[in-house]
Amino acid sequence: MDTKRIIIAIDGHSSCGKSTFAKAIAARLGYIFIDTGAMYRAVTLYALENGAINSGIVDDDMVVRMLDEINIDFRFNPQRGASDIYVNGDLVEGKIRTIEVSNCVSAVSSIGAVRSKLVAMQQQMGLRRGVVMDGRDIGTVVFPEAELKIYMTADAMVRAQRRYKELVAAGDSVTLEEIYENVVSRDKADMSRAISPLRKADDALVLDNSNMSVEEQMAWFMERYEEVLSK
């Protein structure tokens, strides 16, 4: 068996299944999965809970001042078969997935100091290699040297329907229209921000999973992974 361990960077639009896909890849290969989106959500949650976001308005300066107070780490949860995210020792895995956090995370992510701090943390985590990392700028900023880069996308309404089902199953009271508007606005914010905008790396492979099953996506990935290992 080939023992070569690589860095796999997965970027793309919100709610297109990047984290689910990355977790499945990590489990299949025995790699470490790092959910960078969860890290930005964790900072957003901390800002919400500590007065740096009011009525959806983000106080950038206050968020920056809070950064040194925020310690983020991942701990493997054997019951889920995945890693949970903690902020200052507190489990926040469920709390970071709310629509309130979703509506503010793009604004928080666009703050230069926030991105600098989290990118540095992500690069440190990736030094061991054998890592699957997903986000918006992994293949372009965090790991431009990654051996395998994937750019995921899907139709906006398909993504909204997926997210809607997740939130309703979790007991949240939301409408599909509200989720669709959030998906579209996040796409615009992610792709137009001045710092590390979402874009496809020149050498990234595009995966449009609008009409693909989980099994089909994994089969697609394994073909590309074997191609990289054979080089």
Residue 171 has a CB neighbour count (10 Å cut-off) of 6
One-letter amino acid of 64:
V
Q: What is the CATH number of the domain that holds 181?
A: 3.40.50.300
Report if residue 100 sits inside a domain: yes
Q: Is residue 2 part of a domain?
A: no
pTM of this structure:
0.76
Proportion of the chain above pLDDT 70, given as a percent: 99
Q: Note whether residue 115 is domain-resident.
A: yes
Residue 18, judged by CB atoms within 10 A of its CB (0-12, 13-18, 19+), counts as buried
pLDDT at 117: 94
Task: State pLDDT tens for residues 2-18.
Answer: 468 999 999 999 889 89
- Beta strands 53-54 and 32-35 are unpaired
For residue 106, what are the domain limits? 7-224
**Three-state SS at 35:** strand
Residue 104: inside a domain? yes
Q: Tell me how many domains the chain contains.
A: 1
d(C-alpha 130, C-alpha 5), whole Å: 5
